[in-house]
A and B are shown apart, each in its own frame.
Chain A
Amino acid sequence: MRVALFIPCYVNQFYPQVAIATLQLLEKLGVTVQYPVNQTCCGQPMANSGFEHLAQGCNTLFIKNFSGFDYIVCPSGSCTLHIKDHLHDEHQEGKAQEIRTRVYELTEFLTDVLHVTKLDAKFPYRVGMHQSCHGQRGLHLSQMTELVEKPFSKPLQLLQMVEGVELVELDRKDECCGFGGTFCVAEEAVSVKMGKDRVADHIKQGAEYITAADMSCLMHLEGILKRQKSSVQVKHIAEILNGEGV
């Protein structure tokens, strides 16, 4: 099984510990992982701003970096969804299509491909799970509160395998945090208000950590928590699953 690690650009630059945790976790589970060092970004920042045409360079580079692998694993629902939905290249559409079907978000790779049933990890804290929208509503990592369907959650299923984790129940289980890419600065007032409200819900339930399958939401929530001088911290789910609690 040839597995490539796809790391979001901002994680690469600002949260390398999340990428390291992802890599170590996969290796612990017996996967041989390759990291194409010339990777940059999936192109979502341009595309979501309406400049899909300026993401072509990113698309071409992505195909160059990630062709030929059996699986491409990424610790971000949002970047994974972007590749799944929008990776195209008119000169090599076959390769683009192959990548679109082989890209997996980390938690779904663990539950659906590796069929992980136990983890050697401990995290003795009260944890609030933030359901990032693109992972949840886009990739269906969890059942959504709007739909009348049976509940399930791939990230929660994994968190429950971690010793000591006490999951808190939120008032609003899957409301958006307000990050939204360039929305976070273009619509600063609403973005921040959404973030403050999410943070307040976790704090109200006594969470010591907020976790998510997307660091972008957590970066936004962390910015708000720090400004509020809160003791609540954020941790990407890969770090918890990798057993970095103690």
Chain B
Amino acid sequence: MKDHAQLSETFNEDEPRVNWHDETLWFVRQKRDKAAHGIPEWEQLRETASQIKNNVLSNLSEYLVQFEEQAKQNGITVHWAADAAEHNKIVYGILQQNGVQQMVKSKSMLTEECHLNEYLKEQGIDVTDTDLGERIVQLAEEPPSHIVLPCIHWKKEEIGVLFHKHLGTPEGNADPQLLTHAARLNLREFFLTRRVALTGVNFAIAETGEFVVCTNEGNADMGAHLADVHIACMGMEKIIPERKHLGVFLRLLARSATGQPVTTYSSHFKKPARNQEIHIVIVDNGRSKQLGRADFRNSLKCIRCAACFNTCPVYRRSGGHSYHTAIAGPIGSILAPNLDMKQYADLPFASTLCGSCSNVCPVKIDIHEQLYKWRQVLVQEGYAPAAKTAAMKGMGFTLSNPGAFNVAGKAGRWVVKNVPFLVNNRFNAWYKQRDMPEAPKESFTEWYKKNKAE
């Protein structure tokens, strides 16, 4: 399987497209900056959100039980899933109980994480994603490349071609309004006929047993209100203690995500309407394990705004699919190794540790510091390539011995100066697109000994 470096090398073969991808996401980052700077108490808000989430993580089991009790009292059925497989089985079970073969789904990265669509397809269930971006990637048979903007890697002209093929829009027409209208008409049929709707959950409130789903298109509401059964799937870290805390999180979420003051729809679901059912599936899938890792537990504070994606200079120039995991970007790179160290050993290295991710994070996750710490863990656990380990051992020896360091430095400078073809070749990744530095005749230490030392 290809790693992040290889996948991003492929992505970078089309430089104008990389420029377009980078500019598109940088525009979102700028909108976020503008929105954040419009709130004088922004940093205080981030700190407050961070502390609320720290409290949640320290008392998670109590809050979860409280949430379950309240939700049950409200007439909601609560399910617990230890992992992705159990989550998928629970959802399938609910569909079976209702004798349903088709369902609509909206805004759930958790179901991407659990590969629910693939699983249900194998069981003969037809799932239609209704968020426009998710619909586009579903038609294209691709995973989302971004957790908030799932098809941000698609140009409107390409969507025009896709919709012409699947929805019969006029050939060569890439007018966003026409395409959106076509999708709306097409989706309406699904909304009206599907008896089960699945949504994600942005916030689950322990105090009241209600949950909040934030969308801009209203597709989650359309699905949930029209269906007989609403299944809401949530990672167990989505809990917040009290309803009043929403005042903090809703102000941060949309501003961090897209620069909007608030999402168009922030829908509260508390109890099923007459003749309807609501099921909540609370999923662990590695979260308890992450909670037990002292250095990484606060990655569970994440509210999935994707601000770290949009600001990440590496993400913008490598694309979401280069992370080969459901949650891409910097946050994905600290979440994924928890699930599978071997498969995701490359991700914590897909960063320059520039720290911009930690600065935009609305709940103040120290993302770049956790990237550094994951690197240490992955090497200790034996997931470093052998050649790299050997090179590092050599480097460690040379750099801790002044004699060896001076000799190696002299040799290195001599090579660059006198036999440059030894380094200026295709085996040197530096030289592929960059010139080597010129070699000076002496090192600073040599100069100092000659000119300064008494």
Q: Which of A17, A54, A227 contacts B392 (CB 8 A)?
A: A54
Known contacts A50-B376, A149-B43, A188-B5: A19-B353 contact under CB 8 Å: no
Chain A residues near B439 (CB, 8 Å)? Answer: 14
Tally of A interface residues using CB under 8 Å: 74
Assess whether B324 is interfacial by the CB under 8 Å rule.
no
Query: Do A13 and B443 have beta carbons less than 8 Å apart?
Result: yes
Q: Which of A37, A178, A183 contacts B449 (CB 8 A)?
A: A37
Known contacts A16-B443, A190-B318: A197-B384 contact under CB 8 Å: no
Binding site for B on A (CB under 8 A): 7, 9, 11-17, 19-20, 23, 35, 37-41, 43, 45-58, 60-61, 133-134, 137-138, 144-149, 172, 174-176, 178-181, 183-195, 197, 219-220, 222-224, 226-227
Known contacts A40-B400, A133-B353, A137-B354: A187-B445 contact under CB 8 Å: no
Assess whether B117 is interfacial by the CB under 8 Å rule.
no
Query: Do B375 and A50 have beta carbons less than 8 Å apart?
Result: yes
Name which residue of chain A comes closest to B33, CB basis: A145
How far apart are the CA atoms of A60 and B36 in the complex, in Å?
44
Chain B residues near A137 (CB, 8 Å)? Answer: 354-356, 358-359
How far apart are the CA atoms of A49 and B442 in the complex, in Å?
29
Q: Which of A48, A56, A148 has the most CB of B within 10 A?
A: A148
Q: Which of A7, A9, A146, A227 contacts B434 (CB 8 A)?
A: A227
Chain A residues near B4 (CB, 8 Å)? Answer: 187
Chain B residues near A222 (CB, 8 Å)? Answer: 435, 437
Summed over the interface, the residue pairs from A and B with CB atoms below 8 Å come to a total of 213
Query: Do B396 and A190 have beta carbons less than 8 Å apart?
Result: no
Query: Do B359 and A46 have beta carbons less than 8 Å apart?
Result: no
Query: Do B434 and A186 have beta carbons less than 8 Å apart?
Result: no
- The prevalent SS among residues of A at the interface is helix
Name which residue of chain B comes closest to A78, CB basis: B353
How far apart are the CA atoms of A53 and B352 in the complex, in Å?
20
Query: Do A14 and B437 have beta carbons less than 8 Å apart?
Result: yes
Query: Do A178 and B352 have beta carbons less than 8 Å apart?
Result: yes
Query: Do A183 and B12 have beta carbons less than 8 Å apart?
Result: no
Query: Do A49 and B37 have beta carbons less than 8 Å apart?
Result: no
Query: Do B356 and A190 have beta carbons less than 8 Å apart?
Result: no
How far apart are the CA atoms of A176 and B315 in the complex, in Å?
12
Known contacts A14-B440, A55-B396: A40-B359 contact under CB 8 Å: no
Query: Do A43 and B354 have beta carbons less than 8 Å apart?
Result: no
Q: Give residues 314-357 of B contacting A (CB, 8 Å).
A: 314, 317-318, 348-356
Chain A residues near B33 (CB, 8 Å)? Answer: 145-146
Query: Do B356 and A40 have beta carbons less than 8 Å apart?
Result: no
Assess whether B379 is interfacial by the CB under 8 Å rule.
yes
Mask, B51-94, CB within 8 Å of A = 1, is: 00000000000000000000000000000000000000000000
Chain B residues near A41 (CB, 8 Å)? Answer: 399, 405
Q: Give residues 379-431 of B contacting A (CB, 8 Å).
A: 379-380, 384, 388-389, 392-393, 395-402, 405, 409, 412-413, 429-430
Query: Do B447 and A40 have beta carbons less than 8 Å apart?
Result: no
Query: Do B399 and A50 have beta carbons less than 8 Å apart?
Result: no
Chain B residues near A40 (CB, 8 Å)? Answer: 398-402, 405
Known contacts A9-B399, A148-B40: A187-B434 contact under CB 8 Å: no
Query: Do A45 and B395 have beta carbons less than 8 Å apart?
Result: yes
Query: Do A16 and B437 have beta carbons less than 8 Å apart?
Result: no
Query: Do B393 and A38 have beta carbons less than 8 Å apart?
Result: no
Q: Which of B15, B42, B409, B439 has the most CB of A within 10 A?
A: B409
- Expressed in whole angstroms, the minimum distance between the Cβ of B345 and any Cβ of chain A is 10
Mask, B199-237, CB within 8 Å of A = 1, is: 000000000000000000000000000000000000000
- The prevalent SS among residues of B at the interface is helix
Q: Which of A146, A176, A226 has the most CB of B within 10 A?
A: A146
Query: Do A224 and B317 have beta carbons less than 8 Å apart?
Result: no
The 8 closest A-B pairs by CB, nearest first: A57-B400, A223-B434, A180-B352, A50-B375, A54-B396, A146-B359, A50-B379, A176-B354
How far apart are the CA atoms of A168 and B358 in the complex, in Å?
27
How far apart are the CA atoms of A45 and B405 in the complex, in Å?
14
- Expressed in whole angstroms, the minimum distance between the Cβ of A46 and any Cβ of chain B is 5
Query: Do B437 and A219 have beta carbons less than 8 Å apart?
Result: yes
Query: Do A192 and B395 have beta carbons less than 8 Å apart?
Result: no
How far apart are the CA atoms of A176 and B449 in the complex, in Å?
36
Query: Do A20 and B444 have beta carbons less than 8 Å apart?
Result: yes
Query: Do B42 and A148 have beta carbons less than 8 Å apart?
Result: yes
Q: Which of B4, B37, B405, B432 has the most CB of A within 10 A?
A: B405
Q: Which of A16, A175, A186 contacts B349 (CB 8 A)?
A: A186
- Expressed in whole angstroms, the minimum distance between the Cβ of A60 and any Cβ of chain B is 7
- Expressed in whole angstroms, the minimum distance between the Cβ of B310 and any Cβ of chain A is 11
Query: Do B375 and A49 have beta carbons less than 8 Å apart?
Result: yes
Q: Which of A49, A61, A138, A181 contacts B388 (CB 8 A)?
A: A49
Q: Which of A37, A43, A190 has the most CB of B within 10 A?
A: A190
Known contacts A46-B395, A148-B36: A58-B400 contact under CB 8 Å: yes
Query: Do B447 and A9 have beta carbons less than 8 Å apart?
Result: no
**Would you mind naming 9 contact pairs between A and B with Cβ atoms under 8 Å apart?**
A49-B375, A53-B376, A57-B401, A133-B354, A145-B33, A148-B42, A178-B314, A189-B12, A190-B318
How far apart are the CA atoms of A41 and B404 in the complex, in Å?
12
Known contacts A148-B39, A180-B353, A187-B5: A35-B399 contact under CB 8 Å: no
Known contacts A14-B413, A38-B402: A194-B311 contact under CB 8 Å: no
Name which residue of chain A comes closest to B379, CB basis: A50
Query: Do A17 and B440 have beta carbons less than 8 Å apart?
Result: yes
Name which residue of chain B comes closest to A136, CB basis: B355
- Expressed in whole angstroms, the minimum distance between the Cβ of B157 and any Cβ of chain A is 23
How far apart are the CA atoms of A188 and B355 in the complex, in Å?
20
